[in-house]
Amino acid sequence: MRQVAYCFACWPGGPVIPPPCLTCGSHQGYYAAGLCIRCHPWGDPGPDSCRDCLAWGARRTNKWLCIGCVHWRVKYSNPSSGGRVGPCTSCRRALVRGARGVCRLCHKQATYLREPSRPFDATAANEHGQQLFLADMFTRGKTATATGNIQQARKPLPLIPHCLTLRQEQLTLFTMKPDLVAHGRAGLHQRAHPDDAAGLEAIAHQVAESNKWSVRQRNDAIIGTKIMLGIQAGGQAPVHASEVEALRDIDLCVWTVIEVLAAAGALIEDRAPAIDSWLVERLDGLPESMVEELQTWFEVMKNGTKTPPRRRPRSHQTITLHLSWALPILRQWAAAGHGSLREISKEHVLDALPAAGAERARAGQGLKSIFRLLKARKVLFLDPTARLKTGEHPSNQPLPLDPDRISHIRELLFAEDPATALVVALIAFHGIRMGQLQRIALTDIIDGRLTVDGRVIPLADPVRERLGDWLDHRGSRWPDTTNGYLFINRRSVYRGCTVGARWLRLAIGPTLTPRELREDRILAEVHANGGDVRAIADLFGLSINASSRYAYTLEHDDLVASSRTHDTT
């Protein structure tokens, strides 16, 4: 049965009943080479019941015996110890019996039900049934291994003191979103336990002082934390971050409450990333089996895996691009009646791919990413995209800006807003990327030199002038901020985070993008130094291949003529 492309469940014209296992004769769990998953040396049947005491959790490594039964057999299989193999006097099963003539399961049952000063009676204890248990759960103080070695139990880790006394947690009968609007703020914050509320209030004052919060932010954080404690079941349970979102309904700030609860050690971060909800929306309408396969691909792409074949986590942008490129074809297969990616063959892929162009290359890359990973994780038997050429992505040729937009850049350089002038100056003079602008810290600028990703950039005089204007404006508007980033706004000033990419794009304006401004600056430098690829790579932090894309514009007559009509600096 070598090199068979289908399992018995997916066999064409099937499903086909698999043959019985050659070792145990089982008709279930067929694996490979005529053996079931329990008998095959490479199979992973998982835990099962112990053969002797029926406890759940036995593994094949101990021949389907729990550790307790392994020691029981070693101790009582010798006739000199008083035990022997035979029918148990209580359950009548033929097993290794102890000194009292009963098996280990009946012995455990009688031990549980035995009352003080009463004789051991296994028959009466097992008369009305037996209580099964989980395997290897009876060790106390010292741990006995399968080889008979005694190991000292590990000392418990010291408890970390918190301001809250997490006494108990009442289990949820059913989930119901709290309606805070119906009550408002009045009275909700008074339901919290006084001791817990006092501890959280003290921590809120410390957090507010360290982050230079305003009095209103501090007071709202105190009220919000007390409200979350008051609506908790039992009052002492940790607060889930997803539940704090309900404070938006009564106009309370959420992030300040989350920071206070996190500092107090009373927060459970359970908020789902935005990409998780994005995935649920995109997979809506696909067959269940296909959704499970794509979720496996998504989890490995997002979190990576340390089990062979190992894989590093990919960025969220890469995940969204690959799935977006492949999703139209996946929906096409689902509409044609295919319920799983296991049904897809190479012919299906060839029929679904576009004929040529960028669409074919993108769809092919998305499908290759999905099928290659699922084949490596043994979710699929075959990779239908293997050795299938789908073309390469056409590279976008960088273009210079027209004269009208160049005049707009000069207007932005002398804008009244110092943030706009500095952002445009850093891109127009030094070609700083968007992500680099967000991450520039105040300590990265020393003596007129900017350090970005290991590169030291001497700032031009116009950039230094606008940098001074922005720092003066920053210090006068937010004199007590502890945010260490160069660019801040009213949202990030007290949170210690970077500004968003949207804020930078709005600072430049809707008619110009940072990428277009950066490309125009690099093209101007290419035409100024005659296309020195090495110099372009060192000046703007590009690779040799990326620098070559800009150097190719020297051979284009239209681009050469256009670049001579304006000067970006």
Flag whether pLDDT at 240 surpasses 50: yes
Provide CB contacts within 8 A for 96, sequence distance 6+.
52, 72, 73, 76, 77, 83, 84, 85, 103, 104
Distances (CA, A) of 400 to 395, 431, 477, 504, 522: 16, 14, 37, 21, 9
Tell which wins on pLDDT, 497 or 328. Answer: 328
Using the structure block, give the residue that is written with the tokens 């606008």. 466
* 93-132: pLDDT as tens digits: 899 988 888 999 998 888 888 877 778 888 888 888 888 8
Flag whether pLDDT at 86 surpasses 60: yes
The letter for the amino acid at 283 is: L
What phi, psi does 468 have (nearest 5°)?
Answer: -65, -40
Cα 278 from chain centroid (whole Å): 13
Q: Which of 48-62, 143-157, 169-183, 266-280 has the lowest mean pLDDT?
A: 143-157
CATH architecture of 403-563: Orthogonal Bundle (1.10)
Instruction: Give the 3-state secondary structure of residue 56.
Output: strand
What's the rounded Cα separation, in Å, for the pair 498 and 487?
A: 7
What's the rounded Cα separation, in Å, for the pair 263 and 286?
A: 42
Mean pLDDT on 450-465: 92
Give the start-end residues of each E strand in 422-548. 445-446, 449-452, 455-458
* 308-327: pLDDT as tens digits: 889 999 999 999 999 999 99
What's the rounded Cα separation, in Å, for the pair 232 and 222?
A: 16
Average pLDDT, whole number, for the chain?
83
What's the rounded Cα separation, in Å, for the pair 369 and 314?
A: 11
Flag whether pLDDT at 561 surpasses 50: no
Mean pLDDT on 264-288: 89
What's the rounded Cα separation, in Å, for the pair 23 and 21?
A: 5
Tell which wins on pLDDT, 83 or 280. Answer: 280
Instruction: Give the 3-state secondary structure of residue 140.
Output: strand
Contact status, residue 50 vs residue 65, Cβ threshold 8 Å: yes
What's the rounded Cα separation, in Å, for the pair 8 and 17?
A: 7
Mean pLDDT on 327-348: 93
Give 299's pLDDT tier (boundaries 50, 70, 90).
Answer: very high
Structure-block tokens of residue 376 = 């490596």
Mean pLDDT on 438-442: 92
Specify the pLDDT at position 314.
94
Mean pLDDT on 294-318: 93
Specify the pLDDT at position 565.
39
What's the rounded Cα separation, in Å, for the pair 7 and 527?
A: 62
HEC profile of 476-534:
HHCCCCCCCECCCCCCCCCCCCCCCHHHHHHHHCCCCCHHHHHHHHHHHHHHHHCCCHH
Q: Which of 329-338, 470-479, 540-549 has the lowest mean pLDDT?
A: 540-549
Mean pLDDT on 237-259: 84
Residue 38 has a CB neighbour count (10 Å cut-off) of 19
Q: What percentage of the chain has pLDDT greater than the value 70?
A: 86
Structure-block tokens of residue 341 = 């990616």
Q: What is the pTM of this model?
A: 0.59
Q: Which of 13-17, 24-28, 351-355, 443-447 has the lowest mean pLDDT?
A: 13-17
Provide CB contacts within 8 A for 562, sequence distance 6+.
399, 400, 402
Residue 10 has a CB neighbour count (10 Å cut-off) of 14
Q: Which of 140-154, 163-177, 246-260, 261-275 has the lowest mean pLDDT?
A: 140-154
Instruction: Give the 3-state secondary structure of residue 70.
Output: helix
Q: Give the pairing type, strands 239-240 and 267-268.
A: parallel
In the beta sheet, which residues pair with residue 449?
Answer: 446, 458
CA-angle at 250, arms to 246 and 253, nearest 5°: 75
What's the rounded Cα separation, in Å, for the pair 382 and 364?
A: 16
* Residue boundaries of the structural domains of the chain: 1-45, 48-138, 195-268, 275-376, 403-563
Contact status, residue 457 vs residue 445, Cβ threshold 8 Å: no
Closest to 466 (Cα-Cα) out of 506, 511, 415: 415
What's the rounded Cα separation, in Å, for the pair 518 and 568?
A: 10
Flag whether pLDDT at 141 surpasses 60: no
* 146-196: pLDDT as tens digits: 444 444 544 544 544 445 555 555 666 777 777 777 666 666 666 677 777
Using the structure block, give the residue that is written with the tokens 């039992």. 234
Specify the pLDDT at position 1.
52
Flag whether pLDDT at 289 surpasses 80: yes
Contact status, residue 26 vs residue 20, Cβ threshold 8 Å: yes
Burial letters for 229-260: b for 16+ Cβ neighbours within 10 Å, e otherwise? bbbbeebbbbbbbebbebbeeeebbeebbbbb
Mean pLDDT on 340-364: 91
* Residue 30, H or E segment: strand 30-32
